[in-house]
Structure 1
Amino acid sequence: MKFAVVVFPGSNCDRDMYHAAKDSLGEEADLVWYQDANLEDYDAILLPGGFSYGDYLRTGAIASTSAIVNQLKQQAAKGVPILGVCNGFQILLEAGLLPGAMLRNKNLKFMCHFEDLVVQNNESMFTSAYTQAETIALPIAHGEGNYYCDEATLAQLQSNNQIVFTYANNPNGSVSDIAGIVNEAGNVLGMMPHPERAVEALLGGDDGLKLFKSVVNHWRETHVASA
């Protein structure tokens, strides 16, 4: 399986994503500059965290207008797995690939520590290696991770089982404790906590590795079944 790690000006978690895919999983991975990338060549796409374009205007707002977003939308429509973490999640929201928006953390401070999450949907291509309602620990590192959506959108997320992760102890004020959501098709995941920073015990925990393994398992099952 071949992963693309899209690098924007201001990305700072791209190497973590690359390490998770290439070294921890043992799969192929490339760091691809957002202006030069041809996403047709990849089986999954990773949007890393950081401060794309310095977080000017709004987090992810400028990156969401770049030409590569058209490729992201095309690949999403084809069912290609797309994972956006932290700033990557913010870009997916701004690009309209996921519903909702990000607000400043309720305490108006940047937070960086491990948080307990609850797996709300273990039937997605990103979470099949977890058990339903499993509690996992992943690090957060954000100043604008307070997920917001209106009541109608929240009801839709709930009815479609699109809420994949929730916070056990909501640190940022996110509506309904939401930490991660997928699109209706289930192949685009946005989440604020960083699974790529929790792929080895040496890093403080390896609960994030199951997420990447889930993607690989889904891809192999799909391609073996269609071969």
Structure 2
Amino acid sequence: MAFRAAVVTFPGSNCDRDMAVALEAVSGQPALRVWHGDADLPDWLDLVALPGGFSYGDYLRSGAMAATSPIMRAVAAAATRGVPVLGVCNGFQVLTEARLLPGALMRNAGQRFICRTAELQVANTDSLFTSGFVAGETLRVPVAHHDGNYFADDVTLDRLEGEGRVAFRYTEACNGSARDIAGVLSANGRVLGMMPHPERAIEPAAVNALGGADGRRVFENILASLATA
């Protein structure tokens, strides 16, 4: 199966190349690079990825200006058609600002930038991003953010919990996120926003001194799910 993914670059994105490299490493297919000012996306895409970084310098709110970029209308339309969308770190912030996911990402509880490896627990195994995991298993994935504190009101949080839309949780307090939420799914399970960076954990320690291949499994799950769809 030919896997066709697109990576969107906003002014201030700094993980777009990392995302493209990860997608090609796992799928064997180069990712299409898309500029935020583009108005359209090809209708043959299998995945749209919004990478980490500091789009528009995080002015106003993280992701707020990027959410109004021309390409986001095409991303929203693709999501409506059921095209999978993955937003990582700043990409997660953009998805909430664009109302493709509920909630908001606020300043970390400690008011400091956090850059370390975090342990995540898999909370959902029913989406195409998580179907290869076992419920409750743990992953080690890097985090690097200043505004990663996930917030939603209690009614929204209860709905997310009840509908199985929490994809990942931090196993210990990380940034103040409500109910330790690290990743959230859309109602149809086709859009995932997560603060940790799976694209930075695609190679084992024997290959990369940074070590860790747990993030690779997120991308492998996407490919496996689409191949059997």
Q: Which amino acid aligns with 2:17?
A: R
Q: 2:13 aligns with which of 8, 11, 14?
A: 11
Aligned residue pair count? 222
Is 2:39–2:74's contact at 8 Å kept on the other side of the alignment?
no
Tell me which moved more, 14-23 or 33-42: 33-42
Q: Which amino acid aligns with 1:21?
A: L
SS of the aligned residue for 1:189 comes to strand
Q: 1:38 aligns with which of 37, 40, 54?
A: 40
How big is the shift at 1:25?
A: 2.9
Q: Which amino acid aligns with 1:196?
A: E
Query: CA-atom RMSD, angstroms?
Result: 1.0
Q: Structure 1-normalised TM-score? A: 0.95
1:85 aligns with 2:77: no
Q: How does 1:151-170 map to 2 (within 5 A)?
A: 151-170=154-173
Q: 1:55 aligns with which of 58, 61, 65?
A: 58
Partner of 2:216 in structure 1? 209
- Alpha-carbon distance in structure 2 between the residues aligned to 1:221 and 1:37: 31
How big is the shift at 1:59?
A: 0.1
- Alpha-carbon distance in structure 1 between the residues aligned to 2:106 and 2:59: 14
Q: How does 1:66-85 map to 2 (within 5 A)?
A: 66-85=69-88
Structure 1 runs, 4 residues or longer, greater than 6 Å off: none
Q: Which amino acid aligns with 1:213?
A: E
**Unpaired stretches in structure 2, ≥5 consecutive residues:** none
% identical equivalent positions: 50
- Alpha-carbon distance in structure 1 between the residues aligned to 2:138 and 2:162: 22
How big is the shift at 1:28?
A: 3.5
Q: How does 1:53-202 map to 2 (within 5 A)?
A: 53-201=56-204, 202=208
Q: Structure 2-normalised TM-score? A: 0.94
Q: 1:26 aligns with which of 28, 35, 51?
A: 28
